[in-house]
Amino acid sequence: MKNWILILLPAVLIGFSGCEKTGLIGHDEDTEYTCSMHPQIRQKKPGDCPICGMKLVPVLKQQATATTADSAAVATEVRLMPSQNSVASVQLQTVARVVLVRPVQLFGEIKYVNDNHIDLTSFYPGRVERVLIPYNTNEVAAGTALMELYSEEAISDQEKYLQALRDRYLTTFYERDVVSAQIETVRARLFKAGFTEEDLRNLVRKREVKRSIIIRATHGGSIVGVIPHSGERIAQETVMFHITPLDRVWFAARVFEQDLAALQLGQDVEVSTKARPEVTYHGKLVFIDRVIDPQTRTLLARFEIENPKKELLPEMSAIGKLLVRAAEPVLAIPASALIDTGKREVVYVLQAPGQYEQREVIVGTRGEVAGTTPGSYVEIRQGIAEGEQVVVSGAFLIDAEAQLRGSGEETRQK
């Protein structure tokens, strides 16, 4: 029996040696297995990830060239297996020159256009006899009778007018000019109070003094503010009605100092409100103030907006987006390709199928390109060249692989 064992032992050893040489057992020293979702997991044989349970995928060992820019060894080149490329969903985009549009966000309120705003003031003191429009009225036309005002001063001026007309016929030739001047003075006062030529003709013809005067709208528009009520006492020069057309309004915005250089008269703005967030209103820059508010460090800018439906109301809060177009095309990449480490910004550039090089870049303006979301592109001033392909999706997984390969001894799952 011992003789048989001694005869068979060399044969078994020879068989195992042959299997090892032919690769039937054992493993390739250049291959490791890692998890696509947890690249810190490394082991020398196939299996499941101890964290998520996914099947481990093979990856070639690679000696990484290290850089000390972040005081940590990071691989400057990374090679992924086809299976890793697929799991990471790596997507590329060619670097090109584009015209960036930088959005500047503005905050402000809707204001009525002061050019068209009218304050109807009382020329005579008096008492409101009757309001001639419903209290729910929003819009009035030019010439609309608004209210009746009783005023003793108005009655006195009408009597003075009639007396001056009588006196003119009784004066001498030399005194007539003085009396005529008095008549014109009283006429002017009555006109300012709301009298018309027809009212004065009736006054002269009938010799009847009107006990109250009619206050009429001098311009058409929207009534903003409170309407006086019957019996209310009105002092001289009191504002009785605020009337302003709202078919055009202002978006009065506060602009921060760092955005002042972007302002140019005639620029377009997109405005939205909380009342109708789904509606975008368009306006143009018509005024740039020349004084900075020392408290907020902002400057007033006004944008004129067409408002035919009168949806924008005075004092309504609003948000504007000013699109500042760059003067010339710049080298830019999608912001998703950029990885900010805190000390530097890097991208991954395709070198060969499955092989990527880490590049440190210097960035400039962030903006958007027509048809993209705000801030989705970033200008590259140094680090990559036009025509190269950068990773725009999956860059963080590639960076994780680079960190592991460049960090020396990784945590391995034996």
Q: How far apart are CA 174 and CA 169, in angstroms?
A: 12
- Helix, strand or coil, per DSSP, at residue 407: coil
Q: Are 213 and 149 in contact (CB under 8 A)?
A: yes
Q: Are 285 and 108 in contact (CB under 8 A)?
A: no
- The structural domains of the chain, ordered by start, are 65-100+328-406 (2.40.420.20), 104-114+245-325 (2.40.30.170), 123-237 (no CATH)
What is the per-residue pLDDT for 115?
A: 86
What is the per-residue pLDDT for 56?
A: 82
Q: Comparing 89-93, 139-143, 300-304, which segment has the lowest mean pLDDT?
A: 89-93
Q: Scanning the structure block, which residue is given the tokens 């962030």? A: 366
Question: What pLDDT band is residue 74 in, cutting at 50, 70 and 90?
Answer: very low
DSSP code per residue over 248-299:
EEEEEEEEEGGGGGG--TT-EEEEEESSSTT--EEEEEEEEEEEEETTTTEE
Q: Is the per-residue pLDDT at 343 higher than 50?
A: yes
Q: Which residues pair with 106 in a beta bridge?
A: 320
Structure tokens at 71: 């005081």
What is the per-residue pLDDT for 163?
A: 86
Q: How far apart are CA 15 and CA 17, in angstroms?
A: 5
Q: How far apart are CA 162 and CA 174, in angstroms?
A: 20
Q: Is the per-residue pLDDT at 245 higher than 60?
A: yes
Q: Comparing 138-152, 271-285, 340-354, which segment has the lowest mean pLDDT?
A: 340-354
Structure tokens at 231: 């019996």
Q: Which helix (H) or strand (E) holds 163?
A: helix 152-170
Q: Is the per-residue pLDDT at 69 higher than 50?
A: no
Contacts of 293 (CB under 8 A, 6+ apart): 254, 299, 300
Section 63-76 average pLDDT: 40
Section 225-238 average pLDDT: 90
Q: Is the per-residue pLDDT at 26 higher than 50?
A: no
Q: Is the per-residue pLDDT at 327 higher than 80?
A: no
What is the per-residue pLDDT for 170?
A: 77
Mean pLDDT, the chain, rounded, equals 80
Q: How far apart are CA 353 and CA 324, in angstroms?
A: 39
What is the per-residue pLDDT for 174?
A: 72
What is the per-residue pLDDT for 372?
A: 65
Q: How far apart are CA 369 and CA 335, in angstroms?
A: 12
- Helix, strand or coil, per DSSP, at residue 169: helix
What is the per-residue pLDDT for 149?
A: 92
What is the per-residue pLDDT for 396?
A: 79
Considering the entire predicted model, what is its pTM? 0.60
